[in-house]
Structure 1
Amino acid sequence: MEFETILLEERDGIFVLTINRPKVLNALNHTVLTELDRAIDFIKTKENTLGLVITGAGEKSFVAGADISEFQGKTPEEARKQSEWGQSIFKKIEDLPFPSIAAINGFALGGGLELAMSCTFRYASPNAKVGQPEVKLGLIPGYAGTQRLTRLIGHSKAMEICMTGRMVSAEEALKIGIVDRIVEENLVDEAIKSIKDIQKNSPIAVYYCKKAIMEGKEMPFEKACALESNLFGLCFATEDAKEGVSAFLEKREAKFKGK
């Protein structure tokens, strides 16, 4: 596929998607979001995909936020529809049946942090800075930032970050749980390695783990436990479960096929 504002490559079953607008710190405009939507739809059609890494071009920024020039003149209804559209794209990323990692190589602000939070994990370079600074523009996050950040780090800290609009360093982001790791160098390569390590396990079991956690967190505890029980049962219908148990009992390494 050809794109104007993103780069998409496949490395051994793992897609690397790069937001490619370094002159404007990879800001999200209408074209970027349209192409991101297309790219995710394309990736979903590819069989045997192991994972997705999302990063930004250059060394300064993952995504520094939305392209503010596109906000001028929007009506309330247009803004609401814009918010719903962006949320739908990021939900597609969150719902992918394999792990995704945001490789945060600099600023991840506003829509950039919202994009990163739609990924399964977030790895950051030491110079990364994250935040939801929309209040400084008289706005609030619109791509589910208030909701994902709250679920990620709790309501009190999420309110503090959203209401002050301050930037959070990589070290603090790691401490409070916004990012999962700080990677000193070769950020994208390390993200790829992590996905490969995860997918040495049964891809079906990895998917069911993600499904149980992501769907279960929105349910009452008893219903979430029932979901876990159902998925646990479904595992026993897979060749991977039979192979995993046999390999353990035979004291050998399992060879999973994702079936």
Structure 2
Amino acid sequence: MAVRALLGRRALVQTFRIQVADWDSACRLGSVNSSSRQYVLSGKLAPSYHQSGHIATTRHYSSEAKDDLRVRYLDGEDAGIVVVGINRAKAKNAISRNLVNMMSEAVEDIKNNNKVRSVIVCSLVPGIFCAGADLKERAKMHQSEVGPFVSKARALITELGNLPMPTIAAIDGAALGGGLEMALACDIRISSNNAKMGLVEAKLAIIPGAGGTQRLPRVIGVSRAKELIFAARAVDGTEACRLGLVSHSVEQNKSGDAAYLRALELAREINPQGPIAIRMAKLAINQGIEVDLSTGLAIEEACYAQVIPTKDRLEGLAAFKEKRRPHFKGE
């Protein structure tokens, strides 16, 4: 029995090593493609200013509601940071068909861009992160349309969770239902202390359908997750931090973007580190947490093997020897 388990583990790790190699090749190929690729979702590029005052490039996605989502690729010292801002003020950033389509395309673009080092998902609407599904739109759907829509939203959130670079959810307002599920798919969550978070679907006689029943227990534990989901309870940022639902809860400021600013600080801490190493660390953690320790250590070994031949590793050693700041290129 032990031999069979060992053989099974070896097969799993070997498969994972192949996947890592394929992922690494795709990642490097993506960096080549991204340099020449144009963002076909819109032909418009316009400078814009975020709350922090930094100039960024905004991609306006063409659609019936082109401003529902704004994606900013920051520049200068913040180059490599992408800010994905939800902007449906009248609908409290509720998840609609249009928003799902736009976010899916944005996530695909980000995934294939090897120059992206971190992603911040936030709201451009004060006081709200995302109120969950667009129930007004849902009420107009035929019953046969609901299942496919939920499947597409689930696939989007899964793809967000599978992005190879670190993702940070900046929760400056209510994150309910699908809104919290979107935040749960991110690697790190930061909230303002007055933000409200909860998987409240039971109030509508349904259950979380975009990963909430799976991700919330993994974040805060099974018993606590059951309590919040069964009671359809929302908690504020302070309580969410105590539960471990968010990593940081910060005092909200007058402009209502305290969580975003803290997320930006964190992204700036991540930015100077070796980008391939960060991606491999994320992959090792995400895959390793789902298996036993022995298999997890083998997965770590496979990921470590990917960083050994990189130019960045040699640059890191040279910078350490010369007592200077390293300049990593993701190579």
Q: TM range, normalised to the smaller chain? A: over 0.9
Question: Alpha carbons of 1:127 and 1:41: their partners in 2 closer, same or farther (altered >3 Å)?
Answer: same
Question: Alpha carbons of 1:58 and 1:87: their partners in 2 closer, same or farther (altered >3 Å)?
Answer: same
1:183 lines up with 2:250 in the alignment: yes
Shift of 1:68: 1.2
Aligned to 1:49: 116
Aligned to 1:160: 227
Code of the aligned partner of 1:223: T
Shift of 1:74: 4.4
Aligned to 1:19: 86
Aligned to 2:71: 8
- The whole-number CA distance in structure 1 between the counterparts of 2:276 and 2:198 is 34
Code of the aligned partner of 1:183: V
State the aligned residue count. 258
Contact 1:103/1:187, CA 8 A, preserved across alignment: yes
Moved more, 241-250 or 82-91: 241-250
SS in 1 for 2:94: coil
Aligned to 2:17: none
Contact 1:123/1:191, CA 8 A, preserved across alignment: yes
Shift of 1:253: 3.0
Aligned to 2:326: 254
Shift of 1:200: 1.1
Aligned to 2:314: 242
Q: 1:202 aligns with which of 261, 265, 274?
A: 274
Moved more, 186-195 or 29-38: 186-195
Normalised by the size of structure 2, how large is the TM-score?
0.74
- The whole-number CA distance in structure 1 between the counterparts of 2:230 and 2:131 is 18
- Superposed CA RMSD in Å reads 1.7
Normalised by the size of structure 1, how large is the TM-score?
0.93
Shift of 1:250: 4.2
Q: 2:149 aligns with which of 77, 82, 104?
A: 82
SS in 2 for 1:27: coil
Shift of 1:247: 3.0
Shift of 1:256: 2.0
Code of the aligned partner of 1:83: V
Q: 1:222 aligns with which of 290, 294, 301?
A: 294
- The whole-number CA distance in structure 1 between the counterparts of 2:312 and 2:114 is 17
SS in 2 for 1:108: strand
Moved more, 20-29 or 206-215: 20-29
Question: Alpha carbons of 1:216 and 1:78: their partners in 2 closer, same or farther (altered >3 Å)?
Answer: farther
Identity rate of aligned residues, in percent? Answer: 36
- The whole-number CA distance in structure 2 between the counterparts of 1:91 and 1:203 is 22
Shift of 1:257: 2.0
Q: 1:98 aligns with which of 165, 168, 182?
A: 165
Shift of 1:48: 0.8
Aligned to 1:193: 265
- The whole-number CA distance in structure 1 between the counterparts of 2:102 and 2:185 is 17
Shift of 1:26: 0.9
- The whole-number CA distance in structure 2 between the counterparts of 1:42 and 1:238 is 24
Question: Alpha carbons of 1:219 and 1:81: their partners in 2 closer, same or farther (altered >3 Å)?
Answer: farther
- The whole-number CA distance in structure 1 between the counterparts of 2:142 and 2:281 is 41
Contact 2:118/2:270, CA 8 A, preserved across alignment: no
SS in 1 for 2:190: strand
Code of the aligned partner of 1:11: L
| CA deviations over 1:5-26 (Å, ceiling 9, x no partner) | 1112211232211111112211
- The whole-number CA distance in structure 2 between the counterparts of 1:37 and 1:31 is 10
Where do 5+ consecutive residues of structure 2 fail to align? Answer: 1-41, 43-59
Contact 1:55/1:102, CA 8 A, preserved across alignment: yes
